[in-house]
Structure 1
Amino acid sequence: MAQLSIIHARIITPAGVLEDACLVIKDGKIHQLQPAGAALPDGPVLDAGGNWLAPGFIDIHVHGGGGFDFMDNTVEAFLAIARLHAQHGTTSMFPTTLTSELPDLYATIDCYEKALTHTHDGARFLGLHLEGPYFSKEQRGAQDERYIRNPDPEEYRAIQEKSIHVRRWSAAPELPGALAFADFCRSKGILPALAHTNAEYEQVKTGVKHGYCLATHLYSAMSGLTRRNGFRIAGAIESSLLLDEIDVELIADGVHLPEALLKLVVKIKGKEKIALVTDAMRAAGTTVTKSILGSNTSGLEVIIEDDVAKLSDRSAFAGSVATADRLVRTMVQLAEVSIPDAVYMMSTTPARIMGVADQFGSIEIGKMADLVLFDDGIRVQQTFINGKPVL
């Protein structure tokens, strides 16, 4: 389908919402934005019926869905996860790993490379996000303690040489060698993010100078306010909220963070500094009550209850079972932000953080026609990738 006109849509653009407007797609890109009643070019026409037309959702932190995890290390898993999340409005994603043994990580990287060669009807892959293994054991959350270690220059250099597609790497900035690790990442065009960290304010400030400018799943597996000899010390949470250099991720599934914290982060950081992420594990999009976090062969057994994944002893959450549409819906209904602002956090901010805003993340002429059509309840009616319907 080289050309398509979508009419009678409420189009979310950087300049505001265009009511009852028309968007014309040509050769996979946004070609025209027209008011209601304007003459349409020849070609197919889709009536949006007054629904919202938004830039496609960009998930920069996602592990799985539909019964699969990226660390299953099969092309089938990659494509199935991409397909599942596309059904919920995600048009681009950054497949995310877990702390693991090095051979497993290499196998995931190899599968990513193979998946790129397959034509498929799911969300596009824009690069890899490596979550770990350089974490604080005290803040490991559901990360497997067996594989957590300090940054090793020989190891991380070899991993980077393995693939040009590593775009982001989450680590704890207070660890020995973590600052040199961030310097290396920056030199290779990789975004270092602070995660699973027990850092204090001064350590976070130092980390920012070396490139740590994104807080991975804010509040989750992250140090907060502590006291030492009666003196209060700000942790990574307070530092991420305070420092303007740091963008933050929110797992806005309505479980990881309650209403008060969602509203607090929005009030402090604003839509321009918040990226909504699913952090979804394999049970997303399924109805199972037991699952595996990570690979089927070496992952951790988890339970699904209260609409979230938990470790079997219920001591910690173990990833979400959310999809991107749920995140937007939660921000509108629970955090009481507008639909355009929630979409901004799910599309525009992630695109800017990951350096792809020249092509994705907003509805503007010349950008890729990655779009999602949804109703007032944020129920997805149609997803478009490269201008082609995927539902």
Structure 2
Amino acid sequence: MIIKDCNIIFTDKIEKGSILIEDGKIKEINPRIEESSHIIDGSSLYLSPGFIDVHIHGAGGHDTMDGTFESLNEIAKVISTHGTTSFLPTTMTCSIEDIKKSVEAIAYAKKNGTEGANVIGAHLEGPFISPEMIGAQNPNYIQKPSVNTFKEIVNDNIDAITSVTLAPELDGAKELISYLKENNITPSMGHTKAKYTEAIEGIKCGVCHATHLFNAMTPFHHREPGVVGAIFDTDITTETISDGIHINYASLRTAYKVKGTDKVLLVTDAMMACCMPDGNYSLGGQDVIVENGAARLKNGALAGSVLTLDAAVKNVYNNTNYPLNEVINMASLNGAKLCRVDHRKGMIKEGYDADLVLFDKNINVKYTIVNGKVVYSA
């Protein structure tokens, strides 16, 4: 397959060109074009590396906590229509049995593939979180951080776990953080009531990422900088839900200025109502009402989002002054680095996986290609 005459978005520039895809890989950039090849005309379109979502609970009426391959496959198909080519299905603070079941389904999907976006691994959001920063998680299923409890949850599927969100100030957290680091799993701080000093201690132990910046964490104050201050004061990565609901755009611009676009990932934190009409849904067994693009529990707490990554890219591009290639890095390369797959995903480079998105100047997705196969065309 050849994608011809498109605007290729590299990590540091955008250039007109063509690419040849063979055997699921980017074989050559600017190849000689054989008319016998299957050709996609990319003139007037932008070619981007596929988007990578490291924090997503569901979409299309399906939830990671359904604990089935069928649900993960449907989520993978739905989000691929919005340019996502790889993702970490994200679990909730639920019963250990339910999380185990979801982890088993994720491990299966990672090994066997889907009909849409690649499942790279699992993101466990909880159950090792603070009851004081619960957000939309279920307080009945919080667990004390413990290596043994983590082992019970993942069983033989530790290789399928990519990241774990936990509260670093809790008893037992430091031991678990160290264990995760030893096993090449990203410890991320989130749903945390930590003070600045406690967050810094967690970072010294191995925390290298922070879950949904500003949300469910202690805010920045000039006399107690909190978790937000610790994120700003160190070089750990973080992620933003850039829907204009979870974070005001002025706060987003400030965060990007402090952290730099190479340290921030765009994520959706989407739940099953993503790509569905407004109405009543659930998240981690709790009732959620979706109205006017916002998902909330009955008590008013935000409950994930209905954001898609193409919309996140569009929102950031339209509300900041960053060039498109930098915004795309936040949606692709930075996620690939967190998932430790940046040697084969997250950029347009010869030999890399052909996970690609073609979109127009308004960032409307026209084609999504996963492992060299067109999985969506508008």
Measured against aligned partners, the alpha-carbon deviations of 1:207-236 in whole angstroms (never above 9, x if no partner) come to 111110101000110001459xxxx21100
Structure 2 residue aligned with 1:101:
95
TM-score for the superposition, normalised by structure 2 = 0.96
Structure 1 residue aligned with 2:211:
216
DSSP-derived class of the 1:208 partner: helix
DSSP-derived class of the 2:93 partner: coil
CA distance 1:117–1:185, change in 2 (3 Å): closer
DSSP-derived class of the 1:250 partner: strand
Could you list the runs of 5+ residues in structure 2 that have no partner in the other structure? none
Structure 1 residue aligned with 2:82:
88
Amino acid corresponding to residue 12 of structure 1 in structure 2: I
Match of 2:316 among 331, 341, 352: 331
CA distance 1:242–1:41, change in 2 (3 Å): farther
Provide the rounded CA distance (Å) in 2 between the counterparts of 1:122 and 1:185.
29
Match of 1:16 among 6, 9, 13: 13
Structure 1 residue 383 corresponds to structure 2 residue 368: yes
How far apart are residue 114 of structure 1 and its match?
3.2
Structure 1 residue aligned with 2:175:
180
Provide the rounded CA distance (Å) in 2 between the counterparts of 1:357 and 1:257.
28
Structure 1 residue aligned with 2:304:
319
114-123 or 351-360, which deviates more: 114-123
Measured against aligned partners, the alpha-carbon deviations of 1:99-144 in whole angstroms (never above 9, x if no partner) come to 0111101111122233345553210010111010111111111111
How far apart are residue 204 of structure 1 and its match?
1.2
Structure 1 residue aligned with 2:26:
30
Listed as ranges, the matches of 1:188-203 within 5 Å are: 188-203=183-198
Query: Retained in 1: the 8 A contact 2:54–2:335?
Result: yes
Query: Retained in 1: the 8 A contact 2:2–2:20?
Result: yes
Structure 1 residue 140 corresponds to structure 2 residue 137: no
DSSP-derived class of the 1:109 partner: helix
DSSP-derived class of the 1:162 partner: coil
Structure 1 residue 6 corresponds to structure 2 residue 3: yes
Provide the rounded CA distance (Å) in 2 between the counterparts of 1:49 and 1:206.
51
Provide the rounded CA distance (Å) in 2 between the counterparts of 1:183 and 1:251.
27
DSSP-derived class of the 1:361 partner: coil
DSSP-derived class of the 1:30 partner: strand
Structure 2 residue aligned with 1:235:
226
Structure 1 residue aligned with 2:144:
150
Provide the rounded CA distance (Å) in 2 between the counterparts of 1:107 and 1:155.
15
CA distance 1:190–1:117, change in 2 (3 Å): closer
TM-score for the superposition, normalised by structure 1 = 0.93
CA RMSD in angstroms comes to 1.5
Alignment identity in percent?
37
Structure 1 residue 73 corresponds to structure 2 residue 77: no
Provide the rounded CA distance (Å) in 1 between the counterparts of 2:356 and 2:220.
41
Match of 1:310 among 292, 296, 299: 296
262-271 or 273-282, which deviates more: 262-271
How far apart are residue 337 of structure 1 and its match?
2.5
Structure 2 residue aligned with 1:282:
272
Match of 1:346 among 331, 335, 357: 331
How far apart are residue 258 of structure 1 and its match?
1.1
DSSP-derived class of the 1:23 partner: strand
Structure 1 residue aligned with 2:39:
45
How far apart are residue 352 of structure 1 and its match?
1.2
Provide the rounded CA distance (Å) in 2 between the counterparts of 1:172 and 1:113.
25
Provide the rounded CA distance (Å) in 1 between the counterparts of 2:117 and 2:169.
35
How far apart are residue 362 of structure 1 and its match?
0.3
DSSP-derived class of the 1:91 partner: strand
CA distance 1:119–1:356, change in 2 (3 Å): closer
Provide the rounded CA distance (Å) in 1 between the counterparts of 2:167 and 2:191.
6
Structure 1 residue aligned with 2:125:
131
Amino acid corresponding to residue 6 of structure 2 in structure 1: A
DSSP-derived class of the 2:171 partner: coil
Query: Retained in 2: the 8 A contact 1:169–1:190?
Result: yes
Match of 2:259 among 269, 274, 292: 269
Provide the rounded CA distance (Å) in 1 between the counterparts of 2:311 and 2:108.
30
Query: Retained in 2: the 8 A contact 1:65–1:85?
Result: yes
CA distance 1:18–1:153, change in 2 (3 Å): same
Match of 1:257 among 223, 230, 247: 247
Provide the rounded CA distance (Å) in 2 between the counterparts of 1:113 and 1:213.
24
Query: Retained in 2: the 8 A contact 1:254–1:334?
Result: no
CA distance 1:40–1:18, change in 2 (3 Å): farther
Query: Retained in 1: the 8 A contact 2:120–2:339?
Result: no
112-121 or 351-360, which deviates more: 112-121
Provide the rounded CA distance (Å) in 1 between the counterparts of 2:100 and 2:151.
13
How far apart are residue 8 of structure 1 and its match?
1.4
Provide the rounded CA distance (Å) in 2 between the counterparts of 1:168 and 1:220.
18
